[in-house]
Amino acid sequence: MSCTSDTHCITCSDEGVSMRVIELLGDGIACCAGADGAPAEVMVDLVGPVEPGDTLLVHAGGCSPNRGRGAAAAMKYVDEYRDAELGRVLAGEIVAIVEPGREYKIMEVCGGHTHTIYKYGVDDLLPANVELVHGPGCPVCVIPMGRVDDAISVAHIPGVIFTCFGDMMRVPGGSGTLLEAKARGADVRMVYSPLDALRIARENPDREVVFFAVGFETTAPSTALTLKRAKAEGTPNFSCFSNHVTIVPPLRALLESPDLRLDGFVGPGHVSTVVGARPFEFIPADYGKPVVISGFEPLDLLQSVYMVLRQLVEGRCEVENQYARVVPADGNPAALAVLEEVFELRPHFEWRGLGFISHSGLKLSAAYAELDAELRFEIPGVRVADPKACQCGEVLKGVIKPWECKVFGTACTPERPIGTCMVSSEGACAAYYNYGRFAREREVV
Amino acid sequence: MSETTTRESEALALIERVRARPAKFKDAQITMAHGAGGKATQTLVAGLFLPAFGGEALRELGDAGIVDGLALTTDSFVVKPIRFPGGSIGELAVNGTVNDLAVAGARPLALTLSFVLEEGLSAEDLRAEVEAIASAAAAAGVEIVAGDTKVVERGRCDSMYVTTTGLGRLDPRASLSTGSLKPGDKILVSGPIGEHGTAVMLARGEFELEAPVESDTRSLWPAVDALLDAAGPSLRCLRDATRGGVASALNERAQASAVAMVVREAAVPVRPPVAGACEILGIDPMYVANEGVLVAFVAPEAAADALAALASAPGCEAAAEIGEVKTDPPGMVLVETAFGGRRVMDLLVGDPLPRIC
């Protein structure tokens, strides 16, 4: 879906879906059913032994990282975490714990959280002095314009089928979007998982199929597993244009920013299923800010906000794990190992609005160089400066609210985005525009 | 109000002024989004078609144009694949056009039928669609009175495209208008939403997902007939919730009448397989196309009778009241989420599911 206006975004897949294993199809693939019983094929290489009846958390067709605990509870998994009555109770506890007159600014790092907050109206349930600031954790939003231009250039190479997640098709580069490139004749196809791209490569042996990989450590294991498969089965016409990034370097860059005013963080849940909770310990240790790693349902977020506030009120400062039902402290060693094998850190990578950040991007390792689109094709690699009017950087850092950007909602809208924050439904600007665009104190009459 | 909320309100007011400006069609080329029934489609219609063609009947932007007590409408069908669980392109071509007449308050009388066929199409496929068209037309009580056939080279169209034009007679019980909504009016939907779009999407097999979902394609005239009987002049307006789904239908009417709407998310009927498939694909069922669901806006005093009548029509057993028309903020649809918060439900941007009808 283009992850369109509504729609949380599979692209970034900081959204995960709970699915039950029906049967094992072999070769690391399992047939799984979602809450409705609909079957889907899922890569399960990373979760250790899987048996029918197990519950998995699935992102972008790759069951990365972790098994949910308690298979029996799984079918009602989603509903339980959306219970309005429990939400009201938690909201009451938040009101009771905050000190009147004190302002609390808490950043949710992950775009999936931003989306949940707006989709369910979670901030409607918070007192006025608790403000949620939307952070840099939307992988679509942090892709610089030059990389989009590079992608378009590859897409236009004769014989190439260029595959990408829906949201990336609408991200403007310096010379239009992939969607416009498609309208001009480039063969750009939307996929839901890197496995889909590999399947297209198998079905079109006379064409070069390139997968435009984006995402944090959440989606990177799915890409890595797909590349392992492609290498093992020898699909010579498949390659990957990697734009995978890692979560810790931008957080550190953010915390170093002199204009930052934050009291604490709601940490990214699904990234943590891969990297674990420990990588975030520098935030309380070096910067004195509490972190609570959170799940993605509205109740998860309310509870995480409550936990951050409780740390602040009690004068504590540590990494807490609200999402312990899926996030182990050490992450997923199998996923980390496959990342280690398939990818290596770039010396630096450019982030939209944040500039170059050292050791923040992943490229294919030497062992996978044959599948690296950046080596297979001529990539212009032109740098495009962010549009002057666009304040994506300040929005990503939480320095300004989306509506404070000079072009928000006027020159920059979801149908004609200038900045990436307006493209993905997980972007702070798009979420605010699509869902939050009414004054909170204004009654509907 | 604090200084910040004042500035925020000013920023929001500016955005509403920008949104209220007449649409300008400035795109360099047509993209799939222009056919998705959302914002890009609206811009194309309001920015290019209306300025060129806009007479009085067209400006109403109803599902059918009204001329001398007759309703006239046309629709092309390019659905891929041509057969899907619960229906096929031929059945869709009849019901889609019949429904555009029905929601304009017109009893469907006759259809014309145009085929664009791809060279190499099997006669068996064509025969199956002809039979589907004949039986759907018989079920809807309309006659096919004229037609046309064109064939294009292989690869120049995808199996077959079908265009139907429908003629209906305005029902004397109906006094429907897109701009007639008043605060307090109730919003009804005729059945579970998102079935057609989900069924077609899954039938394409692109997502390696299967679910027991069938298209809801059916004639809505019996439902409209029942509503007109029960509510008569209290029935303000109807809308066929096809492309862009219920969300787009509500937004269009909110804008046309310059009213606000509040929808109670928990009251909207969505069957679990549709909800599940949409959850996995990250789509809101409110934006998924229907081919047998209408949205009705009814004066509050007639709402209970209208809902009861609607629920007695075939396929409308799950009809529900999902919300209410409000005054302010004009042109905006808000959702009370099942979780207890509020949010905006805007027109669709982009195209989640191309070629679903």
In the chain, the amino acid numbered B260 is A
CA distance B262 to B41: 24
- Chain A residues in contact with B346 by the CB 8 A cut-off are 5, 414, 433-434, 437
pLDDT confidence of residue B304: 97
Sheet strands (E) in B68-204: 70-77, 83-84, 87-88, 106-118, 143-152, 160-170, 186-189
Instruction: Determine contact: A78 vs chain B, CB below 8 A.
Output: yes
Phi/psi of residue A362, nearest 5 degrees: -110, 130
Residue A249, pLDDT score: 93
Which residues does chain A have within 8 Å of residue B330's beta carbon, measured at their own beta carbons?
none
Q: Which of residues 368-427 of A touch B (CB under 8 A)?
A: 401, 403-404, 408-410, 414-415
pLDDT band (50, 70, 90) for residue A64: very low
The residues in A 147-206 lying below 8 A from B, measured between CB atoms, are 166, 170, 179-180, 182-184, 192, 196
Can you give the pLDDT at residue A395?
83
Banded pLDDT at A7 (limits 50, 70, 90) = very low
B340, A124 contact by CB (below 8 A): yes
Tell me the nearest-neighbour CA distance from B249 into chain A, angstroms: 15
- The answer to whether residue B3 neighbours chain A at the CB level (below 8 Å) is no
Give the minimum alpha-carbon distance from B283 to chain A in angstroms, rounded to a whole number.
5
**Mean pLDDT, range A166-191, rounded to an integer:** 89
The single-letter DSSP state of residue B135 is H
Closest CA to B134 of B117, B113, B155, B154: B113
Whether the upstream peptide bond of residue B212 has omega within 30° of 0, thus cis, is no
Superfamily (CATH) of domain B186-344: PurM-like C-terminal domain (3.90.650.10)
Answer whether CATH 3.90.550.10 is correct for domain A17-78. no
Note the pLDDT of residue B356: 62
As a whole number of angstroms, the distance between CA B223 and CA B220 comes to 5
Q: Is the dihedral of CA A84, A85, A86, A92 positive or negative?
A: positive
Query: Cβ A403–B18 below 8 Å, yes or no?
Result: no
- All residues of chain A having their beta carbon less than 8 Å from the beta carbon of residue B42 are none
Q: A44-53, A216-225, B241-250, B265-274: which has the minimum mean pLDDT?
A: A44-53
- DSSP letter at B215 equals -
Q: Which of B345, B333, B182 is nearest to B254 (CA)?
A: B333
User: Quick one: which of B146, B346, B162 has its CA closest to B255?
Assistant: B346
What is the nearest CA distance from A332 to chain B, expressed in angstroms?
23
Strand order in the sheet with A55-58: A39-43, A29-33, A17-26, A55-58
**Considering only alpha carbons, which residue of chain A is nearest residue B29?**
A183
Instruction: Tally C-beta pairs within 8 A across A and B.
Output: 205
Segment A240-246 mean pLDDT: 96
Answer whether B341 sits within 8 Å of A124, measured CB to CB: yes
| Cα distance between the two ends of chain B | 48
Judging contacts by C-beta atoms under 8 Å, the chain B residues touching residue A436 are 343-344
Are A7 and B287 an interchain contact pair (Cβ–Cβ within 8 Å)? yes
CA distances to A10, A14, A59, A194 from A190, in Å? 12, 18, 16, 10
> B-chain residues within 8 Å CB-CB of A4?
38, 283, 287, 348-352
Higher pLDDT, B216 or A15: B216
> Looking at the predicted structure, is the pLDDT value of residue A75 above 50?
no
Instruction: Report, as ranges of residue numbers, the positions in chain B whose pLDDT lies below 50.
Output: none
- From the CB of residue B102, how many other CB atoms can be counted at a distance below 10 Å? 31
Q: What percent of chain A has pLDDT over 90?
A: 45
In angstroms, the CA B5 to CA B50 distance is 38
Residues of A in contact with B347 (CB under 8 A): 5
Judged against a pLDDT cut of 70, whether residue A74 lies above it is answered with: no
Residue A395 DSSP SS3: helix
Average pLDDT over residues A277-298: 94
Q: Which pLDDT does position B339 carry in this prediction?
A: 86
Q: Look at B161 and A402; give whichever has higher pLDDT.
A: B161
Of B117, B103, B114, B31, nearest to B76 by C-alpha is B114
Q: What is the pLDDT of residue A192?
A: 81
> Chain B contact for A10, CB < 8 A?
yes
CATH architecture under which domain A145-245+334-376 falls: 3-Layer(aba) Sandwich (3.40)
- Our CA-based measurement puts residue B96 at a distance from the nearest CA of chain A, in whole angstroms, of 24
Q: What tokens does A167 get?
A: 């949201």
Cβ-Cβ contacts under 8 Å, A122 against chain B: 339, 341
What number is the average pLDDT over the span A181-193? 91
Instruction: Produce one character per residue of A52-90: b if its CB has 16 or more CB atoms within 10 Å, e if not.
Output: eebbbbbbbbbbbbbbbeeeeebbebbeebbbbebbeeb
| pLDDT at residue A130 in the model | 92
Residue A67: pLDDT band with limits 50, 70, 90: very low
Indicate the helix (H) or strand (E) that contains A116: helix A111-119
Cis amide leading into B329 (omega within 30):
yes
- Supply angle C-alpha B319, B321, B327, rounded to 5: 145
pLDDT value of position A238: 97
Size of chain B, expressed as the number of residues it contains: 357
Per-residue pLDDT at A8 exceeds 90: no
Domain ranges of chain B: 31-61, 63-170, 186-344
SS3 B136: helix
Cβ of A438 and B334 within 8 Å?
Answer: yes
Q: Give me the half-sphere count of Cα atoms (radius 13 Å) on the Cβ side of residue B109.
A: 12
Query: CA-to-CA distance for B14 and A444, rounded, in angstroms?
Result: 19
Query: Rounded to an integer, what is the distance from CA B144 to the centroid of its chain?
Result: 23
Sheet holding A208-215, edge to edge: A187-190, A160-164, A208-215, A238-244
- Domain boundaries for CATH 3.40.50.11740 within chain A: 145-245+334-376
Residues 334-353 of B with CB under 8 A from A: 334-353
Mind listing the pLDDT tens digit for each residue in A77-87?
456 677 888 88
Q: What is the pLDDT of residues B17-38, one digit of tens each?
A: 888 788 889 888 898 888 887 7
In angstroms, what separates the C-alpha of B18 from chain A's closest C-alpha?
Answer: 6
Residue A69 has pLDDT above 60, yes or no: no
pLDDT (tens digit, 9 = 90+) per residue, A255-279?
Answer: 988 877 889 999 998 889 899 999 9
| Selected residues 183-242 of chain B with any CB under 8 Å from a CB in chain A | 202, 206-212
3-state secondary structure of A424: coil
- Mean pLDDT, rounded, for A50-67: 54
Whether the pLDDT of residue A60 is over 60: the answer is no
- Across A260-347, the runs of DSSP E, i.e. the strands, are 264-267, 291-293, 319-321, 343-345
For B109-128, the pLDDT digits (tens) are 999 999 999 999 999 999 99
What pLDDT shows up at residue A49? Answer: 67
Q: Which residues contact A53 (CB under 8 A, 6 or more apart)?
A: A20, A21, A71
Closest residue, chain A, to B270 (C-alpha): A36
**A87·B348 Cβ contact <8 A:** no
Q: What is the pLDDT of residues A342-382, one digit of tens each?
A: 999 999 999 987 889 999 999 999 999 999 999 999 998 88
Span A86-91, mean pLDDT? 89
Q: Is the pLDDT of residue A14 over 70?
A: no
| The one-letter amino acid at B60 | E
* Cβ-based neighbour number of residue B48 at 10 Å: 15
Best probe of the B interface among A83, A120, A180, A412, by most B CBs < 10 A, is A120
Question: What's the whole-number mean pLDDT along residues A225-247?
Answer: 95
* Cβ-based neighbour number of residue A248 at 10 Å: 17
pLDDT at A306 over 80: yes
What is the rounded average pLDDT of the residues A85-90?
Answer: 88
Q: Which of A77, A78, A132 is nearest to A104 (CA)?
A: A132
- Taking only residues 109 to 138 of chain A, the set having a beta carbon closer than 8 angstroms to any beta carbon of chain B reads 118-125
Judge whether residue A398 has pLDDT over 60.
yes
Ranges in chain A annotated CATH 2.30.30.140 = 17-78
For chain B, what is the mean pLDDT? 91
Q: Residues 25..44 of B with a Cβ closer than 8 Å to A: which?
A: 28-33, 38-40, 43
Query: B282, A15: Cβ pair inside 8 Å?
Result: yes
Please, what is the average pLDDT of chain A? Answer: 83
Q: Residue B282: which of A10, A35, A440 has the nearest Cβ?
A: A10
Half-sphere CA count of A209, side-chain side, radius 13 A: 24
At which residue do the structure tokens 């199809």 appear? A25
Chain B residues with CB under 8 Å of A124 CB are 340-342
B294 compared with A398, residue with greater pLDDT? B294
Q: Is the ipTM of this complex over 0.85?
A: no
Return the sign of the alpha-carbon dihedral for residues A152, A156, A160, A162.
positive
| Inter-chain CB proximity B279 and A437 less than 8 Å | no
The count of other CB atoms within 10 Å of the CB of residue B305 is 16
- Is residue B284 classed as helix, strand or coil in its secondary structure? coil
At the topology level, CATH places domain B63-170 in: 60s Ribosomal Protein L30; Chain: A; (3.30.1330)
Q: Which residues of A360-384 are buried (b: 16+ CB within 10 A; e: fewer)?
A: bbbbbbeebeebbbbebbebeeeeb
Smallest Cα distance from A377 to chain B, Å: 27
In sequence order, what DSSP letters do the residues of A341-360 get, joined into one string?
HHEEE-SEEEETTTEEEET-
8 Å CB contact of A436 and B344: yes
Query: Is B123 within 8 Å of chain A by CB?
Result: no
Mean of pLDDT values over A63-67: 35
Query: Of all residues in chain A, what percent carry a pLDDT higher than 70?
Result: 83
For residues A374 and A33, which has the higher predicted lDDT (pLDDT)?
Answer: A374
Residue from the list A84, A119, A444 with its beta carbon closest to the beta carbon of B334: A444
pLDDT of amino acid A9: 36
